[in-house]
Amino acid sequence: MSNIKSGDVDVAGVRVHYDEVGEGEPVLFLHGGGPGAHGMSNFVRNMEFFGEHYRAITLDFPSYGASEKVRIDSPVWGYYGKVVGDFIDAMNLGKAHLVGNSLGGAASLMLALREPAKVNKLVLMGCAGGYGVLGPAPTEGIKALLAFYEPPGPSREKLRAFSEALVYDPSHVTDELIEGRFKVASDPESVEYMPIRLRDGKPPVMEEIWRERLDTVTHETLMIWGRDDRVNPVEQGLVLARQMPNARLLVYPKCGHWAQWERADEFNRDVLAFLSDSQG
């Protein structure tokens, strides 16, 4: 990964870490919200590929990875949507394509709703904020996420259970992946400031984006969903996509919540074709 450069930038008073590679139109890769998540942990199989065609940038959201840890008291999706918009300003990008997984997808949608001029095209994978109509809530993946920080506290076994809920094929969850994410997730500051966890038995406030005016999001949008997503099931993608006038939904069989990891080659080709298509 020698071509990837790292840096930090002040984003509305918060230090945000980022990694980037390549030149040209900016593409922001926005990670999910699970324990140990950060930009490169989510997109290590994608960044170099897109750096050959674009200025590929992935950031660690505040309270994740190497970014500053802060207490987040406002609704989660809207907070991180504002972070993305402020990051675009801080980096003088003007506007950017957004590629968001789970939390990153929800943040992308919130920015597109509130500051549409900062968004070029949208790519949303297993996007949070939808509505599951076919199964009970919380899902298997969300239960595993919330259980991670509950007594007796973080463990590699809990992290493996959560990580295996992200994929269709558990062989994609390597010991190296677990060790890397556990080191981040078990850091005392990460434990204290993790935004998506139970506090006093209550989950964080997360907006129901499917209730928003998604018909006003006119950006060209590609939604990629694993048919076997156990975190945000595929019907949530249908609920979101049918409300957005320029959205298309691509479903990968034998794939879970982490399409950009589990089906990296296919994902890279499909997203590159979408971003480079001048007709949409």
**Which of 252, 276, 277, 275 minimizes the C-alpha distance to 265?**
252
Measured CA to CA, the distance from residue 264 to residue 46 in angstroms comes to: 7
Catalytic residue positions, numbered: 257
Strands 247-252 and 55-59: unpaired
Query: Token pair for residue 158?
Result: 């809990």
Q: 175-185 vs 156-164: helix axis angle to the nearest 10?
A: 120
| 3-state helix, strand and coil shares in percent for the chain, rounded to the nearest 5 | 40, 20, 45
Contacts for 186 with CB less than 8 Å, ≥ 6 apart: 154
Query: Token pair for residue 238?
Result: 């249908």
- DSSP sequence for 20-68: EE--SSEEEEE---STT--HHHHHTTTHHHHHTTSEEEEEPPTTSTTSP
**Helix or strand or coil: residue 210?**
helix
CB atoms within 10 A of CB 250: 18
